[in-house]
Amino acid sequence: MKKLITVILILALILPAAALAADGDSPFFGKWVGEEHHAIKHYDTTLHYIWIHQNGPCSYIVFKFFHGGGMMSPKSEDPEMYAGSWKIVDDHLSIPTSPITFVEVYYDAETDTLRTEDPSVTYVRIP
């Protein structure tokens, strides 16, 4: 009985420490915003926002703005939003943008930015 209590106490101390160690501190974590790069733009500005939390959840939001011109007034579409859980894939993260699609996010340590290839976006960290 004493051995069982000892084992349970040891596990109770080791498991939370292991969970904290697995959590870590990644440069991916935080809030990021970037403007979409297009050869042909349908909107004047398309902004992408990513929030990557260290415990697994993330949010992905796309804002589309048309500034108009002449007699037209500025307008925007309703933002596209999705929340899910990020996944580690080799040297980058996979962020869900809908229930079945993902965007692959790469970190650049030299400039402290994130980038995606499809759509082509460079993200900067929001303080």
Q: What percent of the chain has pLDDT over 90?
A: 30
pLDDT at 20: 36
DSSP state of 109: T
Q: Is 110 part of any domain? A: yes
Q: Is 4 part of any domain? A: no
Q: Is 8 part of any domain? A: no
Q: 11-15, 19-23, 100-104: which has the highest mean pLDDT?
A: 100-104
Q: Is 50 part of any domain? A: yes
Average pLDDT of the residues in 114-120: 88
Whole-angstrom distance, CA of residue 73 vs CA of residue 59:
30
pLDDT at 18: 37
Whole-angstrom distance, CA of residue 14 vs CA of residue 8:
10
**CATH number of the domain residue 45 falls in:** 2.40.128.500
Q: Give φ, ψ of 14 to 5 degrees.
A: -80, -40
Q: Could you report the per-residue pLDDT of 51-81, keeping only the tens digit for each?
A: 999 888 999 999 988 877 666 777 788 888 9
Banded pLDDT at 42 (limits 50, 70, 90): low
Range of the structural domain that residue 47 is part of: 25-126
Q: Is 6 part of any domain? A: no
Q: Does position 97 have pLDDT exceeding 80, yes or no? A: yes
The strand pair at 92-96 and 113-116 is best described as: unpaired
Q: Count of domains in the chain? A: 1
Q: Is 10 part of any domain? A: no
Whole-angstrom distance, CA of residue 106 vs CA of residue 71:
41
Q: Does position 33 have pLDDT exceeding 90, yes or no? A: yes
Q: Is 20 part of any domain? A: no
Cα–Cα nearest to 52, from 98, 89, 83, 91: 83
Q: Is the pTM of this model over 0.75?
A: no
Whole-angstrom distance, CA of residue 115 vs CA of residue 101:
17
Q: Is 53 part of any domain? A: yes
